[in-house]
Structure 1
Amino acid sequence: MRTVDELIRLLSDRGGVVRTVVVTESGFSRRAVDRAVRDGLITRPRRGWLATKDAERTLVTAARLGVVLTCRTQAGLLGLWVHDSTGAPHFAVPRHAAVRIPFEARVHRGKPIVPRHPDALVDPIENVLAYVAECEPFEHALATWESALNRSLVTLEALRGYSWKPAARRVLDHAVPFSDAGLETYLRVRLRWLRIGIRVQIWIAGHRVDGLIGDRLVIQIDGSHHVGAQRSEDIRHDAELRLMGYHVVRLSYTQVMFDWPAAQDLIMRAVAQGLHRAA
């Protein structure tokens, strides 16, 4: 007879929330499962589902409601860049599913890009990106897509093989895999009107720079927690870049996110002075 410890281990190995049929097919009797639930060792979020006591809360919620985590919610859980991680969660359900959600949520319906397995509580990455493209403004969606590309969760070659809706097709047409964070995507998109070459995440003097406009104008963007040793190293690298003939404009997270006109004005003035050109 299989033990409760083995049951908990099975649930944990499969993400913490599992369909009951998977457990019974693995050799656990219904009586043993019911006893483990009764003793408080595991929970039953919904009929047909089991969970460990420490399972990810969002997965338990998805099982309880009969939905799949998708769009910006799942993108955030994957560690992708999301412009704003607050707000109502995003779920996916089949087109005609009768689902009642007792709190504010964004529910996506319709045929997914990639079919969902009946056991799935999270959407495949392609479905996540498809909904992000439909749900978010272009700039925000592009940043999430490029974050997925940068983390090698998808490739441009594979993405081009799917049948996307117009919004996702537009994002795909502009996406590149080099942006390490959404701020770099914003930089590239917001300055493309200058019609000057802008490269992101390239190596100069042994370190990556966030952006290079033309040949000599380096744009560095500080993260929201830019302090301590990282800041000291960035100051040293800025000085080395200047000695090599580069001009450095360093922007803060707040400037890019909340005061872009002022940040853009600094860059425009640098370009007007020709600081992007090689001597």
Structure 2
Amino acid sequence: MYARKELAALGYDDDHALQRAIRAGDLVRLRIGWYAFRVHDRTVASAVRDGGVSTCVDALRFHDLWVPPTPPRLHLRRGRHRTGKHVACRPCSGSLRSATRAVDPVPVALKYAVHCLDADEWIAVCDSYMNSSLIDPADLRADMGSSSATVRRLLDWTDPRSQSGTESITRVRLKSLGYSVVVQPGIEGVGWADLRIGKLILECDSRLHHSSKAAYERDHHRDRRALVDGWLVMRLTYDDVLYGWDTVLEDIRAITTPDRHRARTVKQQEMLRRSARISRSEGNLPFDLDI
């Protein structure tokens, strides 16, 4: 999808060429000044037809970021004097210039998603973006150009090391309850795990995590090795985290309340120290973090 000025750069630099492409079905006019090629994204086209551009959750999904399930609706933004049949999303602060592209870039979409996602979900999307784009929270804050206190507070909770949305949400929820959570700990003989609380390892599977028999068997071998070495392993599914969190938290508390996650013996304490050393050697753990 392109604005009229962009089409000119693609060779449609006069009205005759434009009208020929429309009559041939190669181009579709979505609204005055905006056009789409024959094959296009229907969600984005709907936003443009309704006087805006795609933003917020729809734009984040378009950019292939992890996005939690949300109620069906169109997420778009419009210029100040435009109207349409769909309710436009609101930015976290201020207003933005008129759009020149049909889909907002990620930093802009995130500014609008603050009001459409829960805090832990928004943080998880930020984690996904930073992990895939190899930027840090300071870079993202600069790209967003936001002075919003809400955005600054939420960005303080992000962690680009997180490997999945379910891992991010689990981390945020547990840390908000006061748990000391280690992200991507190194486990000797096992590799990298998702999260760790003491000697309790939490593996947070995505919806498509066990899409192959090999992945299923690999994870079960890892879990068995960790258990033999003295770790406790709890594997959480996508549905556990997104739809059954109360039960998950009960199970975690059943381990942590009686301090079953604590390293009681010299062997267990050394096991945790080795894990911390592995993580620190890869730059994956702050040096002052309690093991």
* Band of TM-score, shorter chain: 0.7 to 0.9
Deviations 1:47-70 (A, max 9, x none): 222221112222322332331211
Query: What corresponds to 1:207 in structure 2?
Result: 191
Is 2:124 aligned against 1:140? Answer: no
Equivalent of residue 275 in structure 1, options 250, 261, 267: 261
Query: What corresponds to 2:30 in structure 1?
Result: 45
Provide TM-score, normalisation by structure 1.
0.81
Equivalent of residue 64 in structure 1, options 30, 39, 49: 49
Is 2:2 aligned against 1:18? Answer: yes
Is 2:95 aligned against 1:100? Answer: no
Distance 1:34 1:235 in 2: 60
Q: Aligned residue pairs: how many?
A: 257
Q: Per the alignment, do residues 85 and 196 of structure 1 end up closer, same or farther by CA in structure 2, a change over 3 Å counting?
A: closer
Distance 1:262 1:26 in 2: 55
Distance 1:145 1:132 in 2: 11
Query: What corresponds to 1:123 in structure 2?
Result: 104
Backbone CA RMSD of aligned residues: 2.4
Q: Per the alignment, do residues 121 and 211 of structure 1 end up closer, same or farther by CA in structure 2, a change over 3 Å counting?
A: same
Distance 1:193 1:126 in 2: 25
Provide TM-score, normalisation by structure 2.
0.78
Equivalent of residue 239 in structure 2, options 242, 250, 254: 254
Q: Per the alignment, do residues 183 and 276 of structure 1 end up closer, same or farther by CA in structure 2, a change over 3 Å counting?
A: farther
Q: Per the alignment, do residues 255 and 129 of structure 1 end up closer, same or farther by CA in structure 2, a change over 3 Å counting?
A: same
Query: What corresponds to 1:9 in structure 2?
Result: none
Residue 112 of structure 1, CA deviation = 4.1
Q: Per the alignment, do residues 196 and 23 of structure 1 end up closer, same or farther by CA in structure 2, a change over 3 Å counting?
A: closer
Aligned residue for 1:130, secondary structure, equals helix
Q: Tell me, which stretches of 5 or more residues in structure 2 are unaligned?
A: 270-291
**Which amino acid is 1:167 matched to?**
T
Distance 2:9 2:203 in 1: 54
Residue 71 of structure 1, CA deviation = 1.1
Distance 2:22 2:175 in 1: 58
Aligned residue for 1:267, secondary structure, equals helix
Equivalent of residue 82 in structure 1, options 45, 57, 67: 67
Q: Tell me, which stretches of 5 or more residues in structure 1 are unaligned?
A: 1-16
Distance 2:146 2:3 in 1: 31
Distance 1:99 1:194 in 2: 43
Query: What corresponds to 1:6 in structure 2?
Result: none
Query: What corresponds to 2:181 in structure 1?
Result: 198
Aligned residue for 2:133, secondary structure, equals coil
Equivalent of residue 33 in structure 1, options 7, 11, 18: 18
**Which amino acid is 1:37 matched to?**
I
Specify which structure has the bigger relative contact order, considering alpha-carbon pairs within 8 angstroms and separated by 6 or more residues.
2
